[in-house]
Amino acid sequence: MSKKFIKGDVDLSNLHLKQLPVGLLNDVHVGGYFVCSNNNLTSLVGVPKTVGGNFSCYNNKLTSLEGSTKTVGGYFVCYNNRLTSLEGAPNSVGSHFWCNNNKLTSLEGAPKTVGGGFSCHNNNLTSLAGSPNSVGGDFWCNNNNLTSLVGAPKTVGGDFICRNNAVKFTEAQVRAVCKVKGRVYV
């Protein structure tokens, strides 16, 4: 069985799509980036199997990441949607993962490892349960309803930003649950 491979990029942005063409890209490996942003998508069914570069699905009407690409070599951007869950997100992301400006109440389903930064600010989170185990860059969880730091990443390679939550945390509280290599902003 031969694998379908697209060496370059696939850009389906700004096409007013309500759904992706099912069957066209499902078993395809895209070597470059895949973009389906700025549409009216409510589902990611039909996206490529793997993306070597960046994956962008921001500014849609997504409520779930089910059907999403499982491996992304670059960044994964799903901000400005209606996501209530990260179930279906890639297992690992080589660079940044941005899920800010959604309606998330949980981070369950988030990638376990993120090579760059992880941004979940401007959601409805009350805890960090489901966070990646390790984040290579900065971790943004500001502007939520956090009452607990339970579930925070074990390591953050950059800064940890958790301002404007239901509880005003201290730097000591953050560093007690997470090894932060950079600064802590509370």
Say what the pLDDT of residue 2 is.
44
Phi, psi of 9 (to 5 degrees): -105, 155
pLDDT tens-place string over residues 85-108: 999 999 989 999 999 999 999 999
Q: What is the mean pLDDT of the chain?
A: 95
Percent of the residues in the chain that have a pLDDT greater than 90, as a whole number: 92
| DSSP conformation class of 3 | P
Q: Which whole number is the average pLDDT over 154-177? A: 97
Q: Is the pLDDT of residue 130 over 90?
A: yes
Q: What is the pLDDT of residue 1?
A: 39
Residues in contact with 62: Cβ distance below 8 Å, sequence separation at least 6, in sequence order? 41, 42, 43, 44, 78, 81, 82, 83
What pTM was estimated for this model as a whole?
0.94
Cα dihedral sign, 174-87-36-72: positive
pLDDT at 24: 83
Residue-wise DSSP of 15-27: S--SS--TTTSTT
pLDDT band at 21 (very low <50, low <70, confident <90, very high): confident
Where are the chain's structural domains?
Answer: 1-79, 83-186
> Mean pLDDT over residues 130-156, rounded?
97
Can you tell me the mean pLDDT for 20-43? 92
pLDDT digits (tens, 9 = 90+) for 36-79: 999 999 999 999 989 999 999 999 999 999 999 989 999 999 99
Query: Does residue 82 register a pLDDT over 60?
Result: yes
